[in-house]
């Protein structure tokens, strides 16, 4: 029988749901060394915390996150709250010797993130940051193809993350979900929220980013704050575009905005190498586009690989070839990898240290946009 592992989750919103769903599903599909037990759920409002605990099967609930840390029975603290709370909770959880799964971005800035890395490394606790897109099977397959050298020398990496949900000036800042528009809660706008995903995947695929040149824009300068009811200045970046150099000599081109009418969550990347290219699109996440110049010219062209066969990443755990999986499964894979590595005493990527590197790039991007100059990334 697998040993029980008690989960304390902080945050019952969007990510609280995806993570809870993953803890429930993972043992049904993966042979895990631990059985996750949904022990304690925490969130700001008591009636919602209670309803969340009942719906997902948590044994109890609280509105005070300190109770999750102080509870000796909790083994894993799962942080699914706005970005400004990540550091304080993670520092306390590390001190209490808990394993930590923290949502992205790791922190508000590199200074905070550095302290979090020091805390988990000093305490020697398992730690993971939830850059879940790495665990889309097609994105993991892209990594495999790059590592096998199929693309040859890489010249270009370009990624976009486009949304359109903040175009109306009536969308408030602050409050549930819209805390993303309040710089005090979010730290930054699309840079930390969306580009952080693209940067994490890009550096996993293509190595470190060394320097960046960015521009940002805040299209709507004032929004009503959901908590104060007052019209307040907007401090986040609504859109960000940056160019970069990778350590391997390739060039990067990244764009994110919440003002691209018609796009809900269009995360795409394309990688161009000497021999082959790869492209991926979140709206069609179970497919990987691949072009190989070494094919005979009469059949050469972009292939759309349906990533569902059992020899493709994670897919032997799901249905039969031809039947695809989706967004929620990235979190199931994350839980499975975290628990397997924890039992084996191995780190799970991306660790806090790896997420610190992403934070460093985000900070360099924002500095570059402010200074209107190229910025070297300080790791």
Contact positions toward ligand NAD, by CB under 6 A?
Answer: 10-16, 42-44, 65, 80-83, 85, 103-104, 130, 132, 176-177, 179, 193
Residue nearer to ligand NAD on the CB measure, 61 or 246: 61
Residue nearer to ligand NAD on the CB measure, 225 or 245: 225
C-alpha span between 305 and 255 (Å, rounded): 25
In whole angstroms, the minimum distance from the beta carbon of 88 to ligand NAD comes to 9
In whole angstroms, the minimum distance from the beta carbon of 43 to ligand NAD comes to 3
Secondary structure of residue 182 in the 3-state scheme: coil
In whole angstroms, the minimum distance from the beta carbon of 16 to ligand NAD comes to 6
C-alpha span between 96 and 71 (Å, rounded): 9
- Locate 141 and state its tokens: 């397959």
In a 13 Å sphere around the CA of 301, the CA atoms on its Cβ side amount to 4
Taking only Cα atoms into account, the Rg of the chain, rounded to an integer number of angstroms, comes to: 21
In whole angstroms, the minimum distance from the beta carbon of 136 to ligand NAD comes to 11
C-alpha span between 156 and 139 (Å, rounded): 17
Determine how many CB atoms are found less than 10 A away from the CB of residue 147: 10
C-alpha span between 323 and 308 (Å, rounded): 6
Residue nearer to ligand NAD on the CB measure, 53 or 125: 53
Q: DSSP states of 297-360 as a string?
A: GGG-S-EEEE--STTSTTGGGSS-TT----SHHHHHHHHHHHHHHHHHT---SSPHHHHHHHHH
In whole angstroms, the minimum distance from the beta carbon of 184 to ligand NAD comes to 12
Residue nearer to ligand NAD on the CB measure, 83 or 368: 83
In whole angstroms, the minimum distance from the beta carbon of 191 to ligand NAD comes to 12
Residue nearer to ligand NAD on the CB measure, 41 or 125: 41
Residues 6+ apart with CB under 8 A from 333: 135, 314
Q: Whose CA is closest to 37, among 66, 13, 71, 70?
A: 71
C-alpha span between 9 and 21 (Å, rounded): 12
In whole angstroms, the minimum distance from the beta carbon of 48 to ligand NAD comes to 7
- Locate 338 and state its tokens: 């975290």
| DSSP code for 73 | T
In whole angstroms, the minimum distance from the beta carbon of 254 to ligand NAD comes to 17
**Largest Cα–Cα distance in the chain?**
66
Residue nearer to ligand NAD on the CB measure, 274 or 328: 328
In whole angstroms, the minimum distance from the beta carbon of 354 to ligand NAD comes to 15
Residue nearer to ligand NAD on the CB measure, 155 or 165: 165
Interior angle at CA 180, CA 179 and CA 185, nearest 5: 60
Residue nearer to ligand NAD on the CB measure, 126 or 350: 350
Residue nearer to ligand NAD on the CB measure, 49 or 369: 49
- Residue at shortest CB range from ligand NAD: 13
């Amino acid at each position: 029988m697998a040993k029980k592992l008690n989960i304390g989750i902080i945050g019952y919103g969007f990510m609280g749901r995806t993570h809870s769903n993953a803890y429930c599903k993972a043992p049904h599909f993966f042979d895990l060394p631990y059985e996750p037990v949904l022990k304690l759920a925490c969130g700001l409002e008591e009636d919602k915390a209670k309803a969340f605990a009942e719906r997902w099967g948590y044994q109890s609930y609280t509105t005070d996150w300190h109770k999750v840390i102080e509870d000796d029975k909790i083994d894993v603290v799962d942080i699914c709250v706005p970005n400004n709370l990540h550091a304080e909770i993670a520092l306390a959880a590390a001190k209490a010797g808990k394993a930590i799964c923290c949502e992205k971005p790791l922190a508000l800035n590199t200074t905070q993130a550095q302290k979090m890395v020091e805390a988990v490394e000093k305490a020697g606790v398992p730690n993971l940051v939830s850059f879940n897109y790495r665990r889309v099977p097609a994105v993991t397959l892209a990594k495999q193809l790059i590592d096998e050298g199929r693309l040859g020398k890489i010249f270009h990496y370009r990624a976009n993350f486009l949304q359109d949900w903040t175009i109306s000036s009536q969308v408030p800042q602050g409050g549930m979900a819209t805390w993303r528009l309040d710089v005090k809660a979010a730290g930054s706008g699309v840079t930390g929220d969306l580009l952080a995903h693209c940067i994490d995947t890009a550096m996993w695929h293509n190595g470190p980013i060394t320097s960046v040149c960015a521009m940002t824009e805040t299209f709507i300068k004032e929004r009503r704050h959901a908590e104060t009811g007052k019209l307040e200045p907007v401090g986040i970046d609504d859109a960000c575009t940056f160019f970069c150099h990778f350590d391997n000599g390739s060039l990067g081109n990244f764009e994110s905005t919440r003002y691209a009418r018609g796009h809900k969550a269009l995360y795409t990347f394309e990688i161009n190498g000497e021999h082959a290219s790869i492209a991926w699109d979140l709206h069609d996440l179970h497919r990987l586009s691949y072009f190989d110049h070494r094919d005979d010219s009469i059949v050469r062209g972009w292939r759309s690989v349906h990533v569902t066969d059992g020899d493709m990443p994670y897919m032997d755990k799901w249905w039969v070839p031809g039947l695809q999986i989706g967004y929620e499964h990235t979190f199931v894979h994350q839980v499975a990898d975290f628990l397997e590595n924890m039992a084996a005493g191995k780190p799970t990527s991306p660790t806090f240290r790896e997420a610190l590197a992403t934070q460093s790039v985000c900070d360099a991007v924002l500095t570059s946009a402010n200074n209107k100059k190229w910025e070297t990334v300080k790791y």
